Amino acid sequence: MWRNTRSGWGLISIALHWLSAVTIFGLFALGWWMVDLSYFHAWYNLAPWWHRSIGMLLLFATLLRLAWRFMQPTPAAQGGRFERLAAHLGHTALYGLLLVVMISGYLISTARGRGISVFDWFEVPALISRLPNQESIAGEIHWYSSLALMVLAGGHALAAFKHHFLDRHDTLTRMLNPSRSRRG
């Protein structure tokens, strides 16, 4: 039930998937909202602190998720050859964009040589800082890759609904319930 099989996703993969999805959309909404805060707004300093802290935890969870994915079997994809290829390319692009978003966010936050405090529990050091225009360039990359990630995640959700409602595949139910995921 915890591990993946060739017929379905295990509980760890399912939990990491949904935790990541909710966190990604939440961070996008928080980021969109906080860029328009005025200097005198009560959340001017607090919103970015939350955004950075949650973003760093998501980065660690994503690295764990990728390691878990490489150590576990991947359930067989459903659909025709084109759909399976599109699913593979889509998942690769989702992971790639997610890493670009988080690494560029890290580069924005560490541009001045200060580490990132994660909820005051620990600090992620500034390993790369003070590059020419680091904050501006990383900011542009962060913004546009975040938008692309949202579009791709929306397409991912629509594809899951298409497989579920039109094709009558168990693609969506396999990502919701590990016990249903294992039925032949």
Q: What is the pTM of this model?
A: 0.93
**Residue 179 — pLDDT band, cuts 50, 70, 90?**
confident
Residue 177: what pLDDT?
87
Tell me the CA end-to-end span of the chain in Å, nearest whole number: 15
| Residue 153: closest CA among 71, 68, 96, 69 | 96
Token pair for 51? 């955004």
User: Is the pLDDT reported for residue 184 higher than 50?
Assistant: no
- Please give the helix or strand (H or E) that residue 132 lies within, else none: none
| Residue 21: closest CA among 141, 160, 144 | 160
User: Is the pLDDT reported for residue 126 higher than 70?
Assistant: yes
Q: What does the H/E/C string look like for 53-95?
A: HHHHHHHHHHHHHHHHHHHCCCCCCCCCHHHHHHHHHHHHHHH
User: Is the pLDDT reported for residue 182 higher than 60?
Assistant: no
**Tens digit of each residue's pLDDT (9 = 90 or more) over 140-177:** 999 999 999 999 999 999 999 999 999 999 989 999 98
Mean pLDDT of the chain, nearest integer: 95
